[in-house]
Every structure is written in C-alpha cells, then in structure tokens.
C-alpha cells in the first residue's frame, strides 16, 4: 500500500477545543561545559493540542533537538515544567521516563536508526518487547504497522536491502506500532531525496489526520514544514510562530514571549557561540 | 523474537569478528582442558596406586640397584605376603627406534602375583614360564607394533651390554590386558633369570627394586620402615615406600612444574577474557547509537546491560562448547593416545575427566560475563541524548 497521498492543502485544523497534549511552562535548558554555562533554551511556554502536526524550525544550534528531547521525555529541563498527557515528566526519574516513552512516544530519526541485524518486521516489533503482549500478537501488530506504511511486502528484508525512503517508513512503522499519542521526528527527511521525503511527509500527515497522532517534527526544509498545521520557529533559545500558526499556539506563545522578555537575561549571556 | 534472541542476533553483526573471537575462546578452552587433563592423569597415576604394595629401592636413587639377596630378607619380613623384583632394562626395538615402551626383567614366579591387575591367559603364562626367552607384552604395545604370539623380537638395551653373538632376542609368549585403566598397557616383560644369566659376572645378582604385597594395607608404611631398618646395618641402604609415595617420588621433582602448568592453564583463560572483553568493548562503542535508539524507545539501562552481557555469555558458551567438542579428538584420541602408547609409564591413561570439562565450560562462560561487565556498565550509564548525538 503506497497510497498515502494527501493534498498538502487539505489540512485538518484541530478544533480550538482540542485537548492539550503537551503543556510547557517556563522551560529552560542549559549545559555546563568547562565552567561555562550555555543557555540553550530559556523561559519557553508552549501548548500543543492533541492531534496537531507541528513543525519546529530554526537555525542550526538553536536548540530544536534539545527541545524535542525534552518534550519526548529523553531529557529533563533545567527549569520549568513539562506536562504530557496529564503527567509531569520534568520530575520523573530515568526509569519512569523510560516507561513513559515506551507507552507514549514514538521516535523517528534523521538516519532511521534501524537495527541492521534485524529484519523490517523485527525492527518494528522492538518497542513491543517492552509490553506483555504474546509473541503472536506482537507479530500481528508489527505487520499491521508495516501495512500502514505500505511495506507489508518487505517484512523479511534487512535494512541494507531497503532504500532510504523505505527504511524511514519502517522506522515510522516502528514509531507507531505501540500506538503512542506523540510522535517526534528529528529531521525525518534530512537524509532523503525529494520523492522519498514527500512520501514520508504524506505518511506523517496521514498519521496525524487519520489516527489523530500528535506529531512534532524538526525540519530545515520549508517544503516539509508546509505539511504541518503549525510552524514554530526557534531562535536564540526563544520560540516564535511561523506565518500560519494555529491561533491557540499563537496566543500561548505570544504570552510566553512577553513573559520570557520580562525575565530575560542580558543578551550576551544567552546567545551561544 | 525476544530479548535473548536480540542479543544473539548481535553476534551476526560482524561475523568475521565473532568467528575469530569464538575460535580464540575455543582454542583457549581446549588448551586449558589439555593441560588440566595431562596434570590430572599424571598425578592420578600415584593416586590409583595399590594401597597394599610397598616398593623398596636404593636409598639414594631408584637408578641404583640392590643386591638380589635382599629379596629373601624382604620375603621373611613380618606382614609381607609375597615379594617380587624387577630391573629396568631400557630396551628398544631397533626396527622401531622412535617407539618408547617400558622394558623390564621380572621374576617369573611372583611378578604377576604382586601385579594382579595385569591379566594373562593361563596358557600364555604357562608358555612363558616354560620358555626362558619368552616375553609378555601389553595389548596396546602389541597392537602398535603388530606383534603376535610366537613372534620373535630383538631388543637393544640402553643400559646393559648388547652382544652381537647373543642378542636380546625374545619370543612373545603372551599378551596381557589390565583390569584398571591406570596400569600401563605398553610394557615389555621378560624373565629375570635369562637377563641375569646374560650379564657379565660383575653385574649379576642385582635387582632394580623389590615390590612386596602386605597383608594389611594400613600397616604398609610401618612395614616399609621396618624393612629399611633391616638394611640400614648392611652394605646398601634402602628406602621403602608405599606405592603411591613411590610413584609420587617420581613426580616430586616436577610437582612445581605441574603446579605451574595448572597456573598457566588459568592464565590462558584470563588472556581469553581480556581478548573477549576488548572485542565486546569495541562492539559496544560501534553500537552506541543503537543503544541510544533502544533507550529512546523505552528500553531501560538494565536492558542494554543485559544485551551486552548476554552476547558475551553466548560467545563464551559457544567457544567453551567448541573447545570441549575438540577436546575429544585432540586429547582423548590424539595427544592422550599418543602418550598412553609412548609414555605409558607416566601417562597410563589419558582421558579428559568430566570435572575438567565442567570447569572449562563454567570458566569460559563466567569469564566472558566478567569481561563484559565493564563495557555493559558504561554502555548502560550513557545518557540517551549523548548516545543519539553519536549517530551523526
Ligand atoms: N550535551 C550537551 N552538552 C553541551 N552542549 C550541548 C549538549 N547538547 C546540545 N548542546 C548545545 O546546545 C545547542 C543546541 O543544540 P541542538 O542539538 O538542540 O541544536 P539543533 O537546533 O537541533 O541544531 P541542528 O539543526 O544542527 O540539529 C548547541 O549549541 C549544542 O552545542
Ligand atoms: Mg538537531
């Protein structure tokens, strides 16, 4: 099944009343290296409604991946609170975070990160090894996920026997197989040619529209960002909205910007080299 | 697929490296088994000695002979049921001068009474007793040399004069087998009276050692002391020991060597552990981003550690099993057979004891696990975001 075509213009705007999946308040992240503190993110406020497809853009080094990692529960913020699906993830322990990710988050990476010794279906089955599902059921679900991405005929193939675009679709199947509410993708089309990239983007759009997955995608590619319902722009540790941002997010972000402005430190301290 | 198969599949990632690592472990395990088996079979020769035999030899060294008349004195001693004597002949078959086997001149009437674990057909024994030039040979030796009963064999002695006009020619009267694995099956035995007759006058009536059988094994040591006391006041002093002590006096000189061999066998396994640990660490470093990916999916640090330790344990187990499997052809059938046939006096029976096999497998798995602990610990501790950064 390769028909994942969806017109780029047919965005399904989430209703203004869509429940908030992610709520970020006053989040900052700083790294200390050799006595110097690097403030990558500062005073971010953000709300992401369930089912929205958000693109996160910004210059290299602006902290996009850092923010994505915080929202996906891979790392904890230095300041502020993050609530996902009603749970505070900024205070969770490493073990709790891992369980949280296993249940709620699917990851798509720029370089696919498939395990080379496992076949497509085995790669997709991986997240289910953390569940109590019996083996036959795990296999059935992995098959279903591969069908969603149109690769049910490649189940027994190893990653090296697949094209880049196919590999990324297997990775997407792996990201959805355990039915998470949130899918995070860090430059998912960065290593792909235009056609494969479009196919991956169509697939993400479909996941958002048909399966109501909330998708957070970091991208440098304006064409990719076009697919999203909301475009966020990150620069110098601050968020702003792209041209056709969602009203709710816009409202949230503008207040947060005002707040961030109010408590911002001198510019010399916050701009990383 | 489950967590263990995932660990096992990782072995297939770099097949050449995995095969080489397994081969290295297998060779280390095989070497360990070989060395331990040799030490074991050498030392066990003294442990399986008969408890009721006392060996009397020259006080200084067993190379020097005793007067033949001592035999009668020993036979008269209290507690001695029967005594026999023998000389080391140092013979070789010049037609097969690469083959070594023990050659002894033994007493016709008493030798097989004292060494009753050697079994000879009655008609063979009778033939030998009738034939001054008769010889009894072990079945392993007969098989190796292709000797049959009735065949004539000429030996050269490395110790006693070889007279071309009167060579040391014997007719094989019979073949002995043994009831114990620990008894040499490659000895060549001929009659002491024939031997003595052939010697020049100055060398006559001397025996290499005297072996007695005592009524009460618990008294063996005391009887030995009493015998030595009798000969203390005579021209040649003796040392009498129970057979186990006598056998281990052969070993005494090399017991330090044996202990060193034991240590070396352990060192080899430790080297294997270091090689394996290095291989594991190398693989872990290459795979950091995969562990990061798994961690992102929600796998716990413990899962990552498990994958690494399990993979190392698989290598250790496979290497151990291959080494064990090779030990049968190499040790039991190869080195062991060779030693039994050629150095039967020292290695009467060489077979890998079960406890050595178990120890080898346990150590190879155990050391592989130990070797993987450090890489496993550090891989499980790495932060997910750090691990993911290593992708690019
Ligand atoms: N563990 C860390 N220690 C120190 N500095 C870090 C660490 N992780 C990230 N940084 C710094 O934080 C900043 C933001 O990094 P991040 O990876 O989030 O940027 P990005 O927007 O994703 O960039 P790119 O588009 O190149 O992927 C960079 O200056 C980076 O060097
Ligand atoms: Mg990035």
The answer on pLDDT for B222 being more than 80 is yes
In a domain, B159, yes or no: yes
The answer on pLDDT for B132 being more than 50 is yes
What's the gap between Cα A252 and its chain centre?
19
Predicted confidence band at A207 (pLDDT cuts at 50, 70, 90)? very high
Give just the sign of the alpha carbon dihedral B28, B34, B35, B36: positive
pLDDT given at position B234 = 87
**Considering only A60-64, A262-266, B154-158, which range has the smallest mean pLDDT?**
A262-266
Q: How far is B2 from chain A (nearest CA, A)?
A: 7
Pick among A126, A143, A178, A216 to test the B interface (most B CBs inside 10 A): A126
Q: Where are the domains of chain A?
A: 20-114+179-263
Which of B1, B9, B299 faces A130 most closely, judged by CB atoms?
A: B299
pLDDT tens figures, B73-88: 999 988 899 999 999 9
B340 and B376 belong to one structural domain: yes
Query: Among the three residues B198, B215, B232, which one is the final residue of a domain in this structure?
Result: B215
The answer on pLDDT for A245 being more than 60 is no
End-to-end CA distance of chain B: 29
Contact A76, A95 (CB under 8 A): no
B271 and B203 belong to one structural domain: no
Contacts of A137 in chain B (CB under 8 A): none
Higher pLDDT, B183 or A9: B183
**Which residue bears the tokens 């200390």?**
A32
Task: Give distance in angstroms: CA of A241 to centre of ligand 1.
Answer: 21
The closest alpha carbon to A249, from A69, A257, A221, A104, belongs to A257
CB contact under 8 A, A118 and B392: no
The answer on pLDDT for A183 being more than 90 is yes
Query: Among the three residues B215, B241, B263, which one is the final residue of a domain in this structure?
Result: B215
The answer on pLDDT for A250 being more than 60 is no
Task: Give distance in angstroms: CA of A76 to centre of ligand 2.
Answer: 17
CB contact under 8 A, A129 and B2: yes
B16 and B64 belong to one structural domain: no
Burial class (CB in 10 A: 0-12, 13-18, 19+), A261: exposed
Task: Give distance in angstroms: CA of A186 to centre of ligand 2.
Answer: 7
B21 and B73 belong to one structural domain: no
Q: Give the DSSP per-residue string, B130-163.
A: H-TTEEEEEHHHHHHHT--TT-EEEEEESSS--B
B9 and B158 belong to one structural domain: no
Which residue owns the Cα nearest ligand 1 atom 6?
A31
Contacts of A117 in chain B (CB under 8 A): 9-10, 12-13
Contacts of A69 in chain B (CB under 8 A): 384-385, 388
Which of A74, A126, A135 faces B384 most closely, judged by CB atoms?
A: A74
Predicted confidence band at B387 (pLDDT cuts at 50, 70, 90)? confident
In a domain, B364, yes or no: yes
Parallel/antiparallel/unpaired status of strands B103-106 and B188-191: parallel
The closest alpha carbon to B373, from B251, B273, B243, belongs to B273
In a domain, B123, yes or no: yes
The answer on pLDDT for A254 being more than 50 is no
Please name the helix (run of DSSP H) or strand (run of DSSP E) that holds residue A110, with its range, or none.
Answer: none
Higher pLDDT, B99 or A138: A138
Q: How far is B315 from chain A (nearest CA, A)?
A: 17
Question: What value does the mean pLDDT of chain B take?
Answer: 87
- Mean pLDDT score, B274-287: 88
Burial class (CB in 10 A: 0-12, 13-18, 19+), B94: exposed
B196 and B58 belong to one structural domain: yes
Closest-approaching ligand to the CA atom of B386: 1
B97 and B195 belong to one structural domain: yes
Neighbours of A174 (CB within 10 A): 31
* Mutate-to-test residue for ligand 1 from A66, A70, A186, highest number of ligand atoms within 8 A of CB: A66
**Considering only A163-177, B2-16, B35-49, B367-381, which range has the smallest mean pLDDT?**
B35-49
pLDDT given at position B248 = 67
Contacts of B289 in chain A (CB under 8 A): 113
Instruction: Please give the model's pTM, rounded to 2 decimal places.
Output: 0.71
Q: How far is A245 from chain B (nearest CA, A)?
A: 29
Task: Give distance in angstroms: CA of A73 to centre of ligand 1.
Answer: 16
Ligand 1 atom with least separation from CA of B386: 1
Pick among A41, A66, A98 to test the B interface (most B CBs inside 10 A): A98
Q: How far is B340 from chain A (nearest CA, A)?
A: 49
A6-10's contacts with Cβ under 8 Å and 24+ in sequence apart are A6/A202, A6/A205, A6/A206, A6/A209, A8/A205, A8/A226, A8/A227
CB-based contact (8 Å) between B15 and chain A? no
How many whole angstroms separate alpha carbon B309 and alpha carbon B320? 16
Closest-approaching ligand to the CA atom of A57: 1
B80 and B208 belong to one structural domain: yes
Query: In three state form, how does the secondary structure of B254-284 look?
Result: CHHHHHHHHHHHHHHHHHHHHHHHHHHHHHH
In a domain, B236, yes or no: no
B60 and B207 belong to one structural domain: yes
The residues lining ligand 1, judged by C-beta closer than 6 Å to any ligand atom, are A 31, 33, 38, 40, 58, 60-66, 272
Interface of B with A in 236-295 (CB under 8 A): 289-290, 293-295
Give me the architecture of the A20-114+179-263 domain, per CATH: 3-Layer(aba) Sandwich (3.40)
Joined together, the tokens standing for residue A44 give: 């971010």
How many whole angstroms separate alpha carbon A173 and alpha carbon A76? 27
Task: Give distance in angstroms: CA of B192 to centre of ligand 1.
Answer: 95
Strand segments, DSSP code E, in chain B are 53-58, 66-67, 80-88, 91-92, 103-106, 118-119, 134-138, 152-157, 168-178, 188-191, 206-207, 209-214, 238-242
The closest alpha carbon to B185, from B329, B50, B51, B347, belongs to B347
Contact B349, B340 (CB under 8 A): yes
Can you give the residue range of the structural domain that contains B267?
Answer: 3-45+255-389
How many whole angstroms separate alpha carbon A77 and alpha carbon A29? 5
Q: What's the DSSP call for residue A266?
A: P
How many whole angstroms separate alpha carbon B263 and alpha carbon B129? 49
Residues 6+ apart with CB under 8 A from A6: A202, A205, A206, A209
**Which residue bears the tokens 């052939």?**
B198
Contacts of B300 in chain A (CB under 8 A): 95, 98
B179 and B153 belong to one structural domain: yes
CB-based contact (8 Å) between B382 and chain A? no
The closest alpha carbon to A175, from A88, A117, A114, belongs to A114
Total tally of structural domains belonging to chain B: 2
How many whole angstroms separate alpha carbon B37 and alpha carbon B137? 27
Strand segments, DSSP code E, in B198-258 are 206-207, 209-214, 238-242
Q: How far is B304 from chain A (nearest CA, A)?
A: 12
In a domain, B329, yes or no: yes
How many residues are given for chain A?
273
Query: Among the three residues B215, B236, B264, which one is the final residue of a domain in this structure?
Result: B215
Task: Give distance in angstroms: CA of A187 to centre of ligand 1.
Answer: 14
Contact B61, B249 (CB under 8 A): no
- Mean pLDDT score, B361-387: 92
How many whole angstroms separate alpha carbon B154 and alpha carbon A49? 104
């Amino acid at each position: 099944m390769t028909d994942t075509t969806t017109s780029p213009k047919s965005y399904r705007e989430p209703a203004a009343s869509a429940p908030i999946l992610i709520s970020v308040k006053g989040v900052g992240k700083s790294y200390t290296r050799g006595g110097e503190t690097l403030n990558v993110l500062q005073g971010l406020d953000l709300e992401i409604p369930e089912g929205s497809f958000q693109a996160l853009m910004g210059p290299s080094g602006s902290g996009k991946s850092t923010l994505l990692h915080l929202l996906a529960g891979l790392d904890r913020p230095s300041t502020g609170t993050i609530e996902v699906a009603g749970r505070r993830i900024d205070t969770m322990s490493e073990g709790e975070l891992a369980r949280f990710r296993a249940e709620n988050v699917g990851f798509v990476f720029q370089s696919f990160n498939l395990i080379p010794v496992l076949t497509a279906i085995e790669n997709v089955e991986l997240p289910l090894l953390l569940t109590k599902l019996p083996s036959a059921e795990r296999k059935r679900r992995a098959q279903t996920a591969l069908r969603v991405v149109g690769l049910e005929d490649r189940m027994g193939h190893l990653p090296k026997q697949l094209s880049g675009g196919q590999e990324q679709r297997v990775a997407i199947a792996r990201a959805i197989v355990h039915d998470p509410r949130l899918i995070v993708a860090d430059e998912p089309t960065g290593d792909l040619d235009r056609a494969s990239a479009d196919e991956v983007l169509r697939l993400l759009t479909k996941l958002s529209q048909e399966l109501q997955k909330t998708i957070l995608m970091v991208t440098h590619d304006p064409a990719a960002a076009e697919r999203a319902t909301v475009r966020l722009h990150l620069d110098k540790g601050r968020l702003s909205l792209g041209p056709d941002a969602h009203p709710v997010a816009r409202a949230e972000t503008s207040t947060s910007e005002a707040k961030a402005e109010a408590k911002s430190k001198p510019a010399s301290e916050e701009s990383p080299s | 697929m489950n967590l263990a198969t995932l660990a096992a599949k990782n072995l297939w990632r770099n097949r050449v490296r995995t095969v080489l690592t397994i081969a290295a472990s297998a060779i280390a395990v095989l070497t360990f088994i070989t060395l331990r088996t040799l030490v074991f079979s050498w030392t066990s020769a003294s442990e399986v000695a008969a408890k009721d035999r006392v060996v009397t030899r020259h006080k200084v060294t067993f190379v020097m002979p005793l007067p033949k008349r001592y035999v009668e004195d020993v036979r008269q001693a209290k507690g001695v049921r029967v005594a026999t004597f023998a000389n080391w002949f140092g013979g070789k078959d010049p037609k097969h001068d690469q083959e070594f086997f023990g050659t002894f001149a033994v007493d016709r009437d008493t030798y097989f009474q004292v060494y009753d674990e050697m079994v000879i057909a009655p008609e063979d024994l009778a033939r030998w007793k009738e034939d001054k030039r008769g010889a009894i040979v072990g079945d392993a030796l007969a098989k190796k040399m292709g000797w049959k009963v009735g065949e004539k064999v000429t030996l050269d002695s490395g110790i006693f004069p070889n007279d071309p006009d009167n060579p040391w020619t014997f007719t094989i009267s019979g073949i002995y087998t043994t009831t114990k694995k620990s008894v040499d099956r490659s000895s060549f035995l001929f009659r002491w009276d024939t031997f003595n007759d052939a010697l020049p006058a100055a060398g006559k009536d001397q025996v290499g050692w005297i072996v007695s059988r005592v009524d009460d094994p618990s008294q063996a040591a005391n009887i030995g002391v009493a015998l030595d006391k009798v000969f203390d006041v005579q021209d040649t002093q003796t040392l009498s020991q129970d057979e186990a002590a006598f056998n281990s006096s052969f070993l005494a000189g090399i017991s330090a060597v044996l202990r060193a061999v034991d240590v070396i066998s352990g060192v080899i396994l430790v080297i294997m552990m270091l090689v394996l640990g290095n291989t594991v660490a190398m693989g872990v470093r290459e795979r950091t981003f995969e562990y990061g990916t798994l961690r992102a999916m929600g796998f716990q640090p413990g899962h990552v550690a498990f994958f690494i330790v399990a993979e190392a344990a698989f290598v250790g187990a496979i290497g151990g099993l291959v080494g064990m499997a090779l030990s049968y052809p190499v040790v039991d059938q190869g080195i062991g057979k060779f030693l039994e046939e050629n150095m039967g006096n020292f290695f009467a029976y060489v077979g890998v004891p079960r406890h050595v096999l178990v120890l080898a497998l346990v150590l190879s798995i155990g050391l592989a696990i130990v070797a993987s602990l450090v890489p496993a610990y550090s891989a499980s501790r790495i932060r997910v975001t750090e691990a993911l950064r290593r992708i690019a």
